[in-house]
Amino acid sequence: MNVEERYEILSKEASSSIEFCDKIDFIKANIDNNIESLMSKYKEKEEYLENFKKAVKVVQRITDKRNEVKEYIRKTVEQSLSVVLGSTMYNLDIIDGDRGENKFTDIQFISTITGKPRKVGTAVKQLTSLIFMISLLEISGSSKVLALDEYLGGASEETAKRLSSILVNLAKDYDFQIFIVNHVKEISDNEEFIRIYLEKENDKEGLKIAKIEKGDMEYENVI
């Protein structure tokens, strides 16, 4: 093989090597671009994941706080019911749910004897909702004013007496102001209530205060 032929072969080999290196450089550039794109997406996903973890913690704190509040209310209602009724008859199950776009909170009364849900009378329902409201007012720091219009009509006898004592304690110890329109004698007979009696002589003049009775002592926040 002469020099010219050898040169021709070497030139072709060199051209092929250069062409191969160009392809390698092109592939490398594509790989580098893909790596850069993937790293950018990875950082986006990593940032999204980090924000998601933070959101989960926030939701968890809210959920935990809500569960703490529910547990506080549940225990308060259970204990108060036991005091008013004179025995521990019910455990409570507070259930949150959705009906379409509307959220609701349902209370189930669980028998302490059978461990099963049971129906309750008007008095227990009234007591439960009243204690529930008082607990919410106490937790929220809202104005502690209650106006109860025949709200306690289901209570009677010893239950009504114990309930009236609780209302007095709420006023004296927790700064509640409670106004009651009431026909339950056992509640009205509590000597620490300020009793305002109304009468109506005719429809034109309407109700008027007939008399106001107070016990031996006056309590600023007890009505």
Domain containing 212 — which CATH number? Answer: 3.40.50.300
Query: Tokens at residue 107, please?
Result: 């209370």
What is the pLDDT, as a whole number, of residue 189? Answer: 81
Question: Is 204 part of any domain?
Answer: yes
What is the pLDDT, as a whole number, of residue 218? Answer: 43
Question: Is 149 part of any domain?
Answer: yes
- The dihedral over CA atoms of 200, 206, 208, 210, expressed in degrees to the nearest 10, equals 0
pLDDT tens across the length of the chain (223 residues): 666 677 677 677 777 777 777 788 888 888 888 888 888 888 888 887 887 777 667 666 656 667 787 888 888 888 888 888 888 888 888 887 777 777 777 888 899 889 998 888 888 888 888 888 888 888 777 788 888 888 777 777 788 888 888 888 888 888 888 888 877 888 878 888 888 878 888 888 888 888 888 765 443 433 3
Question: Is 70 part of any domain?
Answer: no
In the chain, the number of structural domains is: 1
Question: Is 30 part of any domain?
Answer: no
What is the pLDDT, as a whole number, of residue 222? Answer: 37
Question: Is 108 part of any domain?
Answer: no
Question: Is 75 part of any domain?
Answer: no
Please give the residue range of the domain that contains residue 207.
Answer: 142-223
H helix or E strand, kind and range, residue 91: strand 90-99
What is the pLDDT, as a whole number, of residue 59? Answer: 60
The number of CA neighbours under 13 Å toward the Cβ of 121 is 10
Question: Is 77 part of any domain?
Answer: no
Question: Is 7 part of any domain?
Answer: no
Residue type, 19: E
